[in-house]
Amino acid sequence: MSASGGSAFGGTAADYTEKIPNNVGLREDRRLQRALESWQPNFLTWWESMGPTLPTQDVYLRTAVNVGREGWAHFGHVAMRDYRWGIFLAERDPDRQIGFGQHKGEPAWQQVPGEYRAELRRLVVIQGDTEPASVEQQRNLGATAPSLYDLRNLFQVNVEEGRHLWAMVYLLHAYFGRDGREEAEELLHRNSGSVDSPRILGAFNEETPDWLSFFMFTYFTDRDGKYQLGTLKESAFDPLSRTCEFMLKEEAHHMMVGTTGVDRVVERTAQLMVEHDSDEVAARGAIPLTVIQKYLNFHYSVSLDLFGGETSTNVANYYTAGLKGRWSESRRTDDHKLTNDAMMVDALLDSGSPAQSVGQTEVSALIGLNTDLRREYIADCQSGVNRWNKILADAGLPQRLKLPHIAFNRKVGAFAAIEASPDGELLTAAQWQRQSAQWLPTQVDKTHVRSLMQPVHERGKIAAWIAPPRHGINGKPFDYEYVHLA
């Protein structure tokens, strides 16, 4: 890539002549520059050992070069090891004020206040931990990509998750001193699925062994990322807010990969169902709708867990302190403090008694903020399901996909201790044992899906279990040479 410093792109462009491209003036802060330059080889070692395993010559990738509205990214073929992971913060608004909590109306913080240091560090570390985790989870998928287009999208997601790790590591190094540097090291030491040092949040220790899982992950789990980043974008700590704002821009592509990926799987299945007037598409090389539903159930329920408990004093404290806001905070019409407000949250009523049931209970609005965010997320998830159901309806099929009940397969929060069906009916452990294979992918389902994952690495070709995309990337056709394999 050519150097692109200065104003050629408008806004604050990155200087690609720098070892670490950035728009944070790293050159003027030698100490920080040295610290990050000493972390960089560790990152590259991690990328080589835990990143994508399929050898490639180069990949048609988007690289962030700017944070302005126009022309923020550059597209071109790059060798992945030469990808320029940079540090980008959205432009600073010198007049920005804190939008919620007890400090509402005060100027946004340019430094970390001592009293909130531990909490802020924790939020940055949890966010940072998910980014390399997803790269680790997806590392073997290249070997079974259904097309060069999909392979390129996988790698795009991977390099950007790598950049999001850089974003959090920058904050740790720049604002959290020695313990920040130690946390930055730890982000490379924990590994997805490791017995000794797993990733922090549950969903990031699950496998992503096939492309249906990948599309479900990018639809449901990346979408948690969108919502969590949306709340951190509201943070009173301005560098965190500006970092997340820019990350959200990149996140939109990840959402697209998930949404259209599932679209295309459903479309192909629907085509074969209509063609053969049968639900039995497995023998014809596609994924049955029932199996798609089971994958959906799994990825949705583990992603619901990522929002934490239905009630949480942590989230109340984060909000009051101004560390983590609500989705679309500025569009809410209340007092942005919530000290006197109440809300209904999902709950297990009469817990432990024979009369226990799934219902709602009233709590202080602050305590219920994880539920508030989860509800925004659920509404967004439903829009994807509607879209997939439209594909089925347009094909003339009566079957429909649906989101399982909030209490289904939960390991965190109010429903962690019970079992419920996708319709929300409470089950005994024995009933769950007998029936869960109808609702979650079984070994047989997974083996079948994996058996379909034969690589199609030929230009313009696509695997039989998925429809081709409607559009290519950056105006290029589907049969463009998105990846040159080694």
CB of residue 154 to ligand BYC, shortest distance in Å: 13
**Which CB, 109 or 307, lies closer to ligand BYC?**
307
Q: Which helix (H) or strand (E) holds 483?
A: strand 483-485
Contacts with ligand BYC by CB under 6 A: the residue count is: 25
- Looking at the Cβ atoms of 63 and 130, the one nearer to ligand BYC is 130
- In the Cβ-directed half-sphere of 2, how many Cα atoms lie within 13 Å? 4
Least distance to ligand BYC, CB of residue 100, Å: 15
User: Would you state the structure tokens that stand for residue 141, as one six-digit string?
Assistant: 């998928």
List the one residue out of 183, 180, 188, 143 whose CA is nearest residue 162: 188
Of residues 15, 161, 210, 250, which one binds ligand BYC by CB under 6 A? 161
Stretch in the footprint of ligand BYC (CB under 6 A) among 38-46, 188-196, 309-317, 382-390: 309-317
Residue 148: both structure tokens together: 């060069």
Instruction: Specify the length of the chain in residues.
Output: 486
* 3-state helix, strand and coil shares in percent for the chain, rounded to the nearest 5: 50, 10, 40
206 lies in the binding site for ligand BYC (CB under 6 A):
no
CB burial readout 200-227, b (16+ within 10 A) else e: bbebbbbebbbbbbbbbbbbbbbbbbbb
**Minimum CB–partner distance for residue 185 and ligand BYC (Å):** 20
Within positions 212 to 231, which residues make up the interface with ligand BYC, using CB under 6 A?
Answer: 221-222, 224-225, 228
Which residues in 438-457 contact ligand BYC (CB under 6 A)?
Answer: none
Q: Would you count residue 172 as binding ligand BYC (CB under 6 A)?
A: no
> Does residue 145 bind ligand BYC (CB under 6 A)?
no
Residues of this chain, 340-379, that bind ligand BYC according to CB under 6 A: 370
Binding-site string for ligand BYC from residue 183 to residue 202, where x marks contact by CB under 6 A and - marks none: ------------------xx
Sheet (strand 56-64) strand order: 73-78, 56-64, 483-485
Query: Is residue 305 a contact point for ligand BYC (CB under 6 A)?
Result: yes
CB of 219 to ligand BYC, least distance (A): 10
Least CB distance to ligand BYC at residue 134 (A): 4
What x-and-dash track marks residues 29-58 binding ligand BYC by CB under 6 A? ------------------------------
Q: Which is nearer to ligand BYC, 68 or 308 (CB)?
A: 308
The distance of closest approach from Cβ of residue 87 to ligand BYC in the complex, given in angstroms and rounded to an integer, is 17
Cβ nearer to ligand BYC, comparing 222 with 419: 222
Q: Which two tokens stand for residue 132?
A: 């390399």
Give the number of other Cβ atoms within 10 Å of residue 431's Cβ. 13
- Cβ closest to ligand BYC, residue 50 vs residue 126: 126
What residue is closest to ligand BYC based on CB? Answer: 308
285: contact with ligand BYC by CB under 6 A: no
* Residue 314 touching ligand BYC (CB under 6 A): yes
CA 115 to chain centroid? 30
Residues 6+ apart with CB under 8 A from 484: 56, 57, 58, 59, 77
260 is a site residue for ligand BYC (CB under 6 A): no
Q: How far is CA 34 from CA 21, 267, 372, 438, in A?
A: 14, 51, 42, 55
Site for ligand BYC, residues 397 to 426, rule: CB under 6 A: 412
DSSP 460-475: T---TTSPPPSS-STT
| 257 near ligand BYC (CB under 6 A) | no
Picking from 260, 181, 276, the residue whose alpha carbon sits closest to that of residue 214 is: 260
Candidate list 4, 63, 66, 130; residue touching ligand BYC; CB under 6 A: 130
Q: CA 402, CA 398: separation in Å to the nearest integer?
A: 13
Residue 31, amino acid:
R
- Tell me the DSSP string of 61-96: EEEE-B-SSS--EEEEEE-GGG----B--PPP-TT-
Token pair of 168 as six digits? 């959090």
Q: Is 98 exposed, middle or buried (0-12, 13-18, 19+ CB in 10 A)?
A: buried
Could you tell me the smallest distance in angstroms from the CB atom of residue 455 to ligand BYC? 23
Least gap, CB of 352 to ligand BYC (angstroms): 20
Distance from chain centroid for Cα 400: 25
Taking CB under 6 A as the criterion, which residues in 97-126 touch ligand BYC? 123, 126
- 308 binds ligand BYC, rule: CB under 6 A: yes
* Residue 76 bridge partners (DSSP): 61
Contact residues toward ligand BYC (CB under 6 A) are 123, 126-127, 130-131, 134, 161, 201-202, 221-222, 224-225, 228, 305-309, 312, 314-315, 324, 370, 412
